[in-house]
DNA sequence: GATATCGATTAGTAGATACTAATGCATTAG
DNA sequence: CTAATGCATTAGTATCTACTAATCGATATC
């Protein structure tokens, strides 16, 4: 089954399917902004590999970038996860399972 | 970065990353129960391929099976998506984005 | 019992993908 | 101006993956 241009769900899922890449994304999510060099440290792979992963993540719409001098700062783009949320939503799993948590959360935020 | 046994998030994401396999899962989700033969029809791939995809999905905990005679009936196992939900939950994306929808949904269910 | 059907499994293959090492291009520092 | 740093990109490689075609075991049908 050929998809000439993969649909957004596929793109996002594929981006998240690799543990190294997901680890990169998680670090981006946890920091307000982070450079490629910082991401490389402790990643276990080379700087080139990190740049490649960031490219995938950017294409998937999961991160955004800002160049400043010779550094490039990456930041999270959580809207990129929307296709995934929509997919799960459609298959119903979500609300039913998380219902209780939800209710509590709503109370906390707006009692 | 080696993961001898891939963690559950990776397993689930990988299972969902392939469009053909995801299409199979979607059909399982939409039917109460469905056989391998039925899934093969209109899938665009061979019966062998479908069996292989079902194996992945089963390993990911996304489907369950029941043999009856020479047929095997597959059904959805939505709890298999829990690792994905948990992952998204942890990175916060979920609630913030869906907040409005949520609120409405809650009202409908329990006004 | 012989034959057909269902589904899993296997071997083989083409293409994808995650990585490294090397290089190139800016930008900053000396 | 020259050297060093930060990041992207490229070419090359090993491994993984999605598929087919073929086969096998089990169950059902004739």
Is A9 in contact with B22 (Cβ distance < 8 A)?
yes
pLDDT for the residue A105: 54
CA of B48 to C1' of C8 (A): 8
pLDDT for the residue B91: 75
Share of chain A above pLDDT 90, in %: 66
Mean pLDDT across A61-73:
97
pLDDT for the residue B46: 98
Residue B78 DSSP code: G
Is A78 in contact with B89 (Cβ distance < 8 A)?
no
Mean pLDDT across A45-68:
97
For B86-100, b where at least 16 C-beta lie within 10 A, e where not — what string?
ebbeeeebbbebbee
Q: Is it the case that residue B94 has pLDDT exceeding 70?
A: no
pLDDT per position as a tens digit, B40-76: 999 999 999 999 999 999 999 999 999 999 999 999 9
Residue nearest to nucleotide C18 (CA to C1'): A49
Q: Is it the case that residue A60 has pLDDT exceeding 60?
A: yes
pLDDT for the residue B111: 46
pLDDT-derived band of residue A92, with 50, 70 and 90 as boundaries? low
Mean pLDDT across A38-64:
97
Residue ranges of the domains in chain B?
8-109
Mean pLDDT across A49-67:
97
Residue A86 sits at the chain B interface (C-beta within 8 Å): no
The overall average pLDDT reported for chain B is 86
pLDDT for the residue A89: 79
What order of strands is seen across the sheet that includes strand B63-68?
B34-35, B71-76, B63-68
Residue B52 sits at the chain A interface (C-beta within 8 Å): no
| N- to C-terminal Cα separation, chain A | 49
Decide which of B6 and A26 is more confident: A26
The domain at A8-109 falls in which architecture? Orthogonal Bundle (1.10)
């Amino acid at each position: 089954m050929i998809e000439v241009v993969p649909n957004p769900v596929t793109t996002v899922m594929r981006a998240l399917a690799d543990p190294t890449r997901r680890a990169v994304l998680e670090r981006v999510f946890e920091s307000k902004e982070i450079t490629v060099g910082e991401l490389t440290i402790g990643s276990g792979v080379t700087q080139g590999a990190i740049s490649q992963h960031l490219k995938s993540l950017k294409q998937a719409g999961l991160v955004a970038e800002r160049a400043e001098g010779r550094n490039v700062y990456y930041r999270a783009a959580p809207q990129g996860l929307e296709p995934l949320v929509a997919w799960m939503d459609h298959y119903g799993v979500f609300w039913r399972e998380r219902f209780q948590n939800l209710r509590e959360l709503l109370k906390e935020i707006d009692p």
